[in-house]
Amino acid sequence: MIRKQYNKIIIIRWVIIIVLFLFCISKLLFPNSSFTGLYGPIAAISICILACLHGTDRYGFKNLAIFFLITWLISNFFEALSIYMGFPFGNYHYTMPGIRILDVPLIIMPAYFGMGYMSWTLSNILTGQNGKKLKGTHIFLVPFVATFIMVMWDVVMDPVMATINKEWIWEDGGTYLGIPISNYLGWFFVVYVFLQLFAVFIAKFDIKGNDTQFNKAFWLEAAMLYGIQAMNFVGYAIVNTNNIEIYRSTGLISIFTMMFVSILSIITIFNSNPKGDKL
């Protein structure tokens, strides 16, 4: 019975990945469809759900809840601080509708949590720590690498969401496609803080570290999801005829940052040999 439930959860995770992939492809085939405009919130919620299912499997519900709380408290605090005082990201404000906490839209939280977890997982893969309990220098190396992976996403996402879609407004503008450099320095600082805090915590309380139940397919989920997110920005570059400079710049950058990380992670997974399995 337990095995059947576990298999159902695996199927759900892969259904989410496949749906996001098909949604991404549909944007290329039907670029003028109003439905494609829903990709942003659908992706944020879907990635959050996938992170919950995958993270619970890897770390257990309680430990994942700690990851969620650390991510939420740290990110929301610094988002609000920057809105009110300009630190650490710069001066900006949100225009998107919906429930807010300290002027930060609630929908921002799933994005931080979902992509934060995926970046964390990819870092574990690339540093050879997937399925292992963090020890020694890896307690600091894994969050450090994961921070770069997550900031890569913001480098290609922010110009589209802010400069073009006006989901948030940079009040002083910026030198990178309308975005201030301080935003990315701030992102690196904030993401590193909450990932480092989780690394210190999970190094002590990881109840599944060194567990042999995680096969290659399990780790492929994060790599595929991150790659699909990269494809999304490449798709923007292909189909959009307005704001060409921004769309094509971010599309090109996503290929040599996010897509590269996804491909490298997939290669690393297939070259690894967890518990001697094939997939």
pLDDT of residue 276: 42
- Predicted TM-score of the model (pTM): 0.93
With beta carbons less than 8 A apart as the criterion, state whether 165 and 247 touch: no
Query: How many domains are there within the chain?
Result: 1
pLDDT of residue 208: 77
Q: How far is CA 22 from the centre of its chain?
A: 19
* Helix (H) or strand (E) segment spanning residue 244: helix 244-254
pLDDT of residue 212: 60
23: left (phi over 0), alpha (psi -120 to 50) or beta: alpha
pLDDT of residue 214: 85
Q: Which segments of 104-243 does DSSP mark as H helices, in order? A: 108-126, 138-158, 181-205, 216-239
Mean pLDDT by 10-residue block, N- to C-terminus, for the chain (279 residues)? 70 94 85 69 89 95 96 96 96 93 90 95 96 94 98 96 94 95 98 98 86 84 96 92 94 97 97 60
The closest alpha carbon to 121, from 235, 262, 273, belongs to 262
CA–CA dist 22, 167 (Å, integer)? 25
If 0-12 CB within 10 Å is exposed, 13-18 middle and 19+ buried, where does residue 151 land? buried
The encoded tokens of residue 19 equal 């749906």
Provide the domain limits for residue 257: 2-276
